[in-house]
Amino acid sequence: MTALFVDTGKVSVNPPNDRQVWRAQRATLSLDDYVEGVLSRDRMRLARAISLVESSNPDHQRLAQELLVRLAPHCGAAHRIGITGVPGVGKSTFIESFGNRLTEWGHRVAVLAVDPSSSRSGGSILGDKTRMETLANNPDAYIRPSPSSGRLGGVTRTTRETMMVMDAAGYDVILVETVGAGQNETVVADMTDFFLVLMLPGAGDELQGIKKGVLELADLIAVNKCEDDNEQKAEAARQHYANALHIMTPASANWRPPVLKISGLAGLGLDDLWERIEEHRGLLTESGELEATRRRQRIKWMWSMIEDKLMDAMKAHPQVKTRLPAISAAVEEGATTVPVAVLELLRAFGLSVDLNG
């Protein structure tokens, strides 16, 4: 039953009955309805606001952009934490127990998952819903599963906008789960304030398929599944990663990423972990680095959106569509060079460019 409500974003302590859900889903909401719904943390309208933001329908998009303009003044208080690690490291289990702990400490927690390849991992998302059942029923938490499909750019566009909605709704901690699959981590690190990498105990399996580049992104490495009977392996892993980090140049002059031992399942080390996250936030706020990073992230967001929009516009352009088959064929056969083909397509798109620029 809970899973059903998580699925559509309508998590509720007292789930509305089907008829109420149906009626609320059908009712047309005005911009003011959305704004009020989000600001008052009304779950039904909050869920619909996020659906609006995720929608690719042009009318929805227009309304969504107006909504974000209205919400923007209410944003900025949330601390956004990215969480990565190989499948099975225990991300979802950790988020469930950490999220519940944070609400006990008076925080409001929003959770979302970024998985650009969710068709591949449809099964694990189903697993996550049951894994986060108590958090899903926590009135101070809000779980939003990732949009079901889309290319990397599309999914991340909505992720940032979804975080804005959650931020405006007063969720002061936003946890973003991403599958450690190489490229996702950089994308998520670019939209969060703190990047947490979960690792398995047992240093023998080296970096567990986690690339060195990912360790460089880490603000903290937590060796997970460190229950008592795991102590030796856990400590070996902790030392291994501490050494690995030691020989790296830290990304920030104000912060040396610590390595902690935790257990999401047993709830061990979570208070220490949160202390470090708060310490990080304090130091980076004081030094101005947090704000500088957020400024840089907004500019990156702008350029990545420009790329998306330009690509969409170019692919949809009538002249480009007309010329594309012949030019593609010529490129495949080697009858024309790629630079010449690109030039022709850009000109068909209406740009006055030459081969040098």
Ligand X SMILES: Nc1nc2c(ncn2[C@@H]2O[C@H](COP(=O)(O)OP(=O)(O)O)[C@@H](O)[C@H]2O)c(=O)[nH]1
Interacting partner of 263 out of ligand X, Mg ion, none (Cβ under 5 to 8 A depending on kind): ligand X
| Shortest CB 279 distance to Mg ion, Å | 27
- Give yes or no for residue 225 binding ligand X (CB under 6 A): yes
Structure tokens at 311: 């690509």
Q: Which residues 6+ apart lie within 8 Å of 181 measured at CB?
A: 117
Residue 258 CB, nearest distance to ligand X (Å)?
A: 18
CB of 251 to ligand X, least distance (A): 24
Question: For ligand X, which is the closer residue by CB, 37 or 264?
Answer: 264
CA–CA gap between residue 21 and residue 117 (Å, rounded): 29
Return the residue of 9, 37, 82, 90 that touches ligand X, per CB under 6 A: 90
Taking the CA of residue 142 as centre, how many other CA atoms within 13 Å lie in the half-sphere pointing to its CB? Answer: 26
Site track 247-266 with ligand X (rule: CB under 6 A), x = hit: ----------------xxx-
159 sits near ligand X (criterion: CB under 6 A): no
| 93 binds ligand X, rule: CB under 6 A | yes
Among residues 76, 253, 82, the alpha carbon closest in space to that of 159 is found at: 82
Contact call for residue 201 and ligand X (CB under 6 A): no
* Smallest separation (angstroms) from Mg ion to the CB of 355: 48
User: To the nearest whole angstrom, how small is the minimum distance from the Cβ of residue 334 to Mg ion?
Assistant: 46
For residue 118, state whether it binds ligand X (rule: CB under 6 A): no
Calpha distance 81→192 (Å, rounded): 6
Binding of residue 89 to ligand X (CB under 6 A): yes
DSSP 35-102: HHHHHTT-HHHHHHHHHHHH---HHHHHHHHHHHHHHGGG-S-PEEEEEEE-TTSSHHHHHHHHHHHH
| CA 312 to chain CA centroid, nearest Å | 22
Bridge partners of residue 212, in order along the sequence: none
CA-CA distance, 193 to 121, in Å (whole number)?
26
192 binds, among ligand X, Mg ion, none (CB under 5 to 8 A by kind): none
Task: Let me know the angle formed at the C-alpha of 161 by 156 and 164, rounded to the nearest 5 degrees.
Answer: 135
When asked if residue 129 is in the footprint of ligand X (CB under 6 A), the reply is no
137 makes contact, choosing from ligand X, Mg ion, none, with CB < 5 to 8 Å by partner type, with none
Q: Which residues bind ligand X (CB under 6 A)?
A: 85, 87-93, 124, 127, 131, 224-225, 227, 263-265
